[in-house]
Structure 1
Amino acid sequence: MKKLNGLHMFIFLSAVTVVTVALYYVAADWLNQRYFRFLIWNLFLGWLPFIFSSITYGLSQLKWKLAIWLAIPSGMLWLLFFPNSSYIVTDLLHLSSRSARYVTGNGVSFNYWYDLSVVLMFVWTGLLIGFFSMYQLQGVINQRLGHAASWIFVLGGTALASYGVLLGRVYRLNSWDALTNRETLLQLMHESVSRSSLAFCMFFATFLITIYLSLYYLIHARESGQRDERTN
């Protein structure tokens, strides 16, 4: 796997985040409304996986054995908060719930396109943050356990993320409920076992893995192109 500079990733994702939040405030001032302010909090939660993946990656590069053991709980915290980065996709629901505000006598108002642009920016930024965090951890697992294990991790991570999004959107659970409200979590997990929940997880996991594979291909296609140029 190609190693990406962690500092460069942080700067890039920070810049995209600044643009995203700035777009929200510009649209909010233009339309004189703050309805989508909650997206800023959701994006903050979406940053947590990248923070934990960066810690895990940094610890995995250290030579002393204690660092490896510290990387394990950090990686588990990544898994716990990873669904937050893709949960923002479901915030598109709010556009439908506000549809009556967008329809005018002449069709769809410009307010809809402003709000759609803002929500899509938050969705895109959240997905980028989450998938770069997964790429970091896939690199760690690839280094320690091999290529096959790293892809098993990716498939398992996207599957668990889709289930986490289901618990968050449908059952209104938060990531920290796994630490503070385990009895309710287990109860709702039991209730969530259904055909419709399985279908949601399968479709959403397919959505996530397709985007991840697209980004993975773009990263490595560039590396392959540069290698071909050097050999020629």
Structure 2
Amino acid sequence: MERPRGQTARAAGSGSMLEIPQNKRSTRIFLVIALSMLSCLFLVLVRYGLTGRFSQGYLLWNLLLAAVPLVVAGYGARFASGTSRKQRSRAVGLAVFTVWLVFYPNAPYLFTDFIHVVRRSGLGAVALPWLSQADLQWYDIVMNAAFAFVGHYIGLVSMYLMHGTMKLLFGRVAGWAFLAPAILLSGFGIHIGRFSRFDSWDLVLHPVETLRVIAQSLTDPAAVLFSLAFAFFIALTYIIFYIVKRDPLGYLDA
């Protein structure tokens, strides 16, 4: 029987709703995300107009990378919810989850770009008489915050979809069991991305070297602190996102 338009998939073997958005609802979500990314581009273009220098291209690239796990998770959600229970392949689900995990750290990684604001790097000369260096730094704070917020939100949506996919394929408890180590590993992924300058593609192209760096970071107390702090932040914000998204009291039904 065909599922009604706009309805969400239900978890197998449970009476609760599995929050994988369908049809018009998913289109709205992806449209909002696309508009948010374009708004971030607008902020960069305004800054270019103020200074005549295009020095924040890395923000656009990092935001684009943050969208990759959403695409992967969207495919996983469509695969898991669009097939019958007999047709669902756990092997395919694990493969999608692995690819998602490789790229997910790119989303919260955008918070580390605040280091450029702290160091005042890339400020450049101010061509307008009414705009000071301090004013430009405040603008950079807002611009970086927008990129970080949008990137992290994209990551949370992708995590929500991936969580739902794993619940459909493996069950409710297993869904959380997959998520917990993924969040922890993401903290280390952000660390090696910022300090070792590896990215997600290095894990594919140079897996041995990348894993060696990860192993070394496990023995560095500062690296462990950094990684655990980010893992805690990701876990905290995802739990808030998860609870608000479910809205058990029904306040947001309208």
TM over 0.5: yes
Match of 1:10 in 2: 30
CA distance in 2, matches of 1:95, 1:224: 41
3-state DSSP class of the match of 1:30? helix
4+ runs deviating over 4 angstroms: 99-102
Instruction: Give the drift of 1:53.
Output: 0.4
Count of residues paired in the alignment = 225
CA distance in 2, matches of 1:89, 1:13: 18
The answer as to whether partners of 1:46 and 1:85 remain within 8 angstroms in 2 is yes
Q: Cα distance 1:58–1:110, how it changes in 2: closer, same or farther (>3 A)?
A: same
Identity %: 23
Q: Cα distance 1:2–1:112, how it changes in 2: closer, same or farther (>3 A)?
A: same
Structure 2 residues without counterparts, runs of 5 or longer? 1-17, 125-131
The answer as to whether partners of 1:20 and 1:122 remain within 8 angstroms in 2 is yes
CA distance in 1, matches of 2:173, 2:89: 24
Say whether residues 1:50 and 2:70 are aligned partners: yes
The answer as to whether partners of 1:56 and 1:72 remain within 8 angstroms in 2 is no
Structure 1 residues without counterparts, runs of 5 or longer? none
Bigger fraction of residues in helix = 1
Say whether residues 1:33 and 2:53 are aligned partners: yes
Q: Deviations over 1:69-111 (max 9, x none)?
A: 4333222110110101111110000011217959xxxx97210
Matches within 5 A, 1:1-232: 1-5=18-22, 6-61=26-81, 62-63=83-84, 65=87, 68-98=90-120, 109-193=134-218, 194-221=220-247, 224-225=250-251
Could you tell me which amino acid in structure 1 is paired with residue 222 of structure 2? S
Q: Cα distance 1:93–1:211, how it changes in 2: closer, same or farther (>3 A)?
A: same
Q: Deviations over 1:132-185 (max 9, x none)?
A: 000001111222333322222332221111110011111111111112112321
Q: Cα distance 1:93–1:226, how it changes in 2: closer, same or farther (>3 A)?
A: closer
3-state DSSP class of the match of 2:160? helix
Could you tell me which amino acid in structure 1 is paired with residue 115 of structure 2? L
Could you tell me which amino acid in structure 2 is paired with residue 206 of structure 1? F
Q: Cα distance 1:37–1:100, how it changes in 2: closer, same or farther (>3 A)?
A: closer
Q: Deviations over 1:25-68 (max 9, x none)?
A: 11221232222111101111111100100111111122363755
CA distance in 1, matches of 2:54, 2:249: 42
Could you tell me which amino acid in structure 2 is paired with residue 116 of structure 1? I
Query: What TM-score do you get using the length of structure 1 for normalisation?
Result: 0.87
Q: Cα distance 1:100–1:49, how it changes in 2: closer, same or farther (>3 A)?
A: closer
Could you tell me which amino acid in structure 1 is paired with residue 87 of structure 2? K
Q: Deviations over 1:7-30 (max 9, x none)?
A: 222111111111111111112212
The answer as to whether partners of 2:74 and 2:161 remain within 8 angstroms in 1 is yes
Could you tell me which amino acid in structure 1 is paired with residue 151 of structure 2? G
- Pairwise CA RMSD: 2.4
